[in-house]
Structures are given as C-alpha cells and as structure tokens.
Amino acid sequence: MSNDEAPARLRDTAVSRAGGRSPVPPGWGENPTAWPKRIRLAVLAFVGLCVASYLTLYQLGFFAHVWDPFFQSGKVLNLLGQFPDAALGVGAYLAEIVLSLIGGEDRWRSTPWTVLALGVVISCGAVVSVLLVVVQAVVVGAWCTLCLTSALVSFLVFAWGAKEPLAALGHLERVRRSGGSVWRGLWGREDGSVAGSTGRSG
C-alpha cells in the first residue's frame, strides 16, 4: 500500500463505520469527536481526578498534611473550613471522563447532547479554575501547587475539548435551517441533511 493510499483507506473505513456518511462535520478538516482526541481528553481528566481526589481526602481529614514542594497549601485548602470544595473537582472530572466515552466517532451528529453536556462541564471547570487562581492571588495571598495543577488540567481539557460542542452546535444549526426539529436533533433523531427529514426512525 502506498503512502497516498493509506489515508484514503482510513477515510473510507471511517465513512463505512458511520453508516455511509463522513464522521467529519461539514466544512471541517478533521473530526473533533474522533476517538484519539477523546481518549486524550479522558486521560487528562483522569490526572485531574487523581489530584482532586487527593485534595478531597486531605480536606476530609484523612491526611494531616498535604504534599506541596513550593507553598503552604493548607491556607488555601482550608479557606472554606469543613467544606471539601475539592470534591467539586472530583465530580467534574468524573463527568468529563464519562461524557468523553459516550457515543461513536460521529457523536456531534448522532448524540449531540453528550457533546454539549461535555461543553458545559469543561466550560464551568475552566471558569472555576480562573476564579481559583484569582482567589489565591487576591483573597488568600497564598498558593497551592496541586490546586494550580488542577487549574492547568482544567484549562487544557477545555482547550482540547472546546471544538466538540462547536461541531454539535453547527449540526443543530443545520437541522434548524433544514426545517427539522432542533430538539429531535439534540437526541440524534434529525440529521439536518434534507428539509423536514428525520435522520433516524422512531
């Protein structure tokens, strides 16, 4: 097989798996919901999950001290008293992992709700991370290495995952323009290719 034939065969295989339709959104040069991209995001979210879980265990009293090679993390981690705010990060990272693994390679079209739900979670994570950094700098006047690590992970997850909801929103806009139901399109029951058509039965 020549070097030119290999990409073509891969594209043909992807189209075949997507029921004869390309998994790449119209107008896009790549598929933002391809498995390699989603696995990378899930692995990164798992790293964040480990960090957040460790911080949560500290806040719940399982550890007397938290590891930090540079700063005095306790001042930041004990800001809210007995409330284990790091547990919110655990929930967010778990949601990112689960949502990353739902649906096929064309899920921007087949299950847009998963992609949009992921978009909401990663956007909230990025916003909270910005607030966390601001609070450490302005309110507390102290830093926490693992908290900054978690914030960095959230920023990277957002950067790597932001294209997925954009593809889903573009699909829903095509459904709307075609005269289909955006609500049905959200659940993968309108493909938006023909006016008034339903992409799937039922």
154 phi and psi, to 5 degrees? Answer: -65, -40
Most confident range, picked from 25-29, 96-100, 129-133, 176-180: 96-100
pLDDT value for 140: 85
Q: Which of 174, 194, 34, 31 is nearest to 185 (CA)?
A: 174
Q: Are 97 and 72 in contact (CB under 8 A)?
A: no
pLDDT beyond 90 at 12: no
Cα separation, 22 vs 20, in Å, equals: 7
Q: Are 74 and 66 in contact (CB under 8 A)?
A: yes
40-87 pLDDT, tens digit per residue, is: 999 999 999 999 999 999 989 898 888 999 988 888 888 767 788 899
Q: Which residue ranges form the domains of the chain, and what is each CATH number?
A: 29-165 (1.20.1440.130)
The pTM score is 0.81
pLDDT beyond 60 at 93: yes
Cα separation, 29 vs 20, in Å, equals: 18
pLDDT beyond 80 at 132: yes
